[in-house]
């Protein structure tokens, strides 16, 4: 679906019958600008990785069956995350299996060389600075240690960084945000909410933020006024106005899980509005400067 008026109205771009055994299921989307958009996920009962691309803002979509041609991954590997730094260069994550890189907008892919990493997540601050979340797994594929690998050249090279996650060996990172000054916030299951200032040399030491809740936390975003926002299951929405030191809960009047946040200009209202997206087509609009009850909640989509 697409909206060009701050989610006051939405237009459906494509529909698939979820009962179709060959239907595509999407896990992530990357909107580089108003024209270039990618969506990734899995196809059919075998969960073979699939990538869609639009170069005209969503009016037309091209299905790139990258999973059929990708090297270095399992034949049925699904794609869990997609990120592009410009219209040509991008990355696909297959959680627990590897990362693929492209230099032609997604038509062809090769494995990204990150020695020693088992990637589960990819996060970029800008076109050059980014991080891969890697887990060392035991024989049952349970994480026993979490590491971050960083890049300063847009993913051409990566190096392991030293992090102390508040004394925890392994953390399940669902969302990670780093600002231009190196202030970082990550969130995860069961109220995981850690903050740190990334050390250019030596070990980065993370601390627990105050005000976390027990629910799973799924994403992190910053509003234009500098406030940090975290959304999660059961309609949880948290905000911090002190750089992530402490958080307070914002009432959303929904119990549906929230998975993504965005802040956009609403021309009709003359201000920036916040959007939270969740299960069954839930879309919440809120004022990020003076939070109030959701202004709109979309009806569930069939």
Q: Write the pLDDT tens digit of every residue in 253-296.
A: 889 999 999 998 877 777 888 999 988 778 888 888 875 545 45
* Contact between residue 44 and residue 99 where contact means Cβ atoms under 8 Å apart: no
**301 burial level (CB within 10 Å; 0-12, 13-18, 19+):** exposed
Question: Which range, of 39-48, 157-166, 183-192, 293-302, averages the lowest pLDDT?
Answer: 293-302
Q: What is the pTM of this model?
A: 0.87
Cβ–Cβ < 8 Å for 94, 77: yes
Model confidence at 67: pLDDT above 80: no
Position 42 scores a pLDDT of 86
Least confident of 61-70, 177-186, 221-230, 261-270: 61-70
pLDDT > 80? residue 184: yes
Residues in the chain: 302
Is 67 in contact with 97 (CB distance < 8 Å)?
no
Contacts 24+ apart (CB under 8 A), 294-298: 294/252, 294/253, 294/254, 296/7, 296/8, 297/253, 297/254, 298/10
Residue 302 has pLDDT above 50, yes or no: no
What percent of the chain stands above pLDDT 70?
85
Residue 82 has a pLDDT of: 95
**Can you give the pLDDT at residue 285?**
86
Q: Which pLDDT tens digit goes with each residue over 117-154?
A: 999 999 999 999 999 999 998 988 888 999 999 999 99
pLDDT at 246 (0 to 100):
95
Is the pLDDT score of 301 beyond 50? no
pLDDT at 74: 64
Q: Residue 217's pLDDT is what?
A: 96
Residue-wise over 13-50: b if at least 16 C-beta within 10 A, else e? Answer: beeeeeeeeeebeebbebbeeeebbbbbbbbeeeebbb
- Binned at pLDDT 50, 70 and 90, residue 1 comes out as low
- pLDDT greater at residue 2 or residue 198: 198
pLDDT band at 59 (very low <50, low <70, confident <90, very high): confident
Residue 73 reports pLDDT greater than 50: yes
Cα dihedral 218→126→71→173 (10° resolution): -20
Lowest pLDDT segment from 2-6, 179-183, 212-216, 222-226: 2-6
- Looking at residue 72, its pLDDT comes to 61
What are the structural domain ranges in the chain?
209-302
* Mean pLDDT for all residues in the chain: 86
pLDDT (0 to 100) of residue 206? 97
């Amino acid at each position: 679906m697409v909206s060009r008026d701050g989610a006051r109205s939405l237009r459906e771009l494509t529909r698939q019958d979820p009962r179709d055994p060959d239907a595509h299921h999407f896990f992530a989307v990357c909107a580089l600008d108003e024209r270039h958009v990618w969506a990734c996920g899995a196809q059919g009962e075998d969960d073979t990785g699939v990538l869609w691309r639009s170069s005209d803002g969503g009016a037309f979509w091209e299905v790139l069956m990258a999973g059929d041609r990708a090297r270095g991954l399992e034949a049925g590997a699904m794609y869990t995350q997609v990120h592009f730094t410009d219209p040509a260069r991008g990355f696909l994550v297959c959680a627990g299996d590897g990362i693929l890189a492209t230099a032609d907008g997604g038509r062809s892919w090769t494995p990204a060389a990150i020695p020693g990493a088992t990637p589960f997540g990819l996060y970029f601050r800008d076109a050059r600075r980014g991080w891969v979340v890697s887990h060392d797994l035991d024989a049952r594929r349970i994480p026993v240690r979490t590491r971050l690998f960083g890049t300063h050249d847009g993913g051409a090279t990566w190096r392991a960084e030293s992090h102390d996650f508040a004394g925890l060996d392994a953390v399940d990172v669902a969302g990670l945000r780093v600002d231009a000054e190196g202030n970082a916030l990550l969130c995860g299951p069961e109220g995981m909410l850690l903050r740190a200032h990334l050390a250019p040399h030596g070990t980065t030491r993370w601390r627990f933020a105050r005000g976390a809740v027990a629910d799973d936390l799924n994403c992190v975003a910053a509003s234009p006024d500098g406030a940090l926002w975290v959304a999660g299951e059961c309609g949880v929405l948290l905000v911090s106005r002190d750089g992530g030191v402490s958080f307070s809960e914002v009432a959303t009047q929904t119990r549906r899980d929230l998975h993504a946040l965005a802040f956009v200009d609403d021309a009709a209202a003359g201000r920036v509005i916040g959007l939270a997206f969740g299960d069954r087509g839930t879309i919440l609009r809120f004022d990020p400067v003076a939070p109030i009850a959701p202004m709109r909640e979309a009806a569930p989509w069939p």
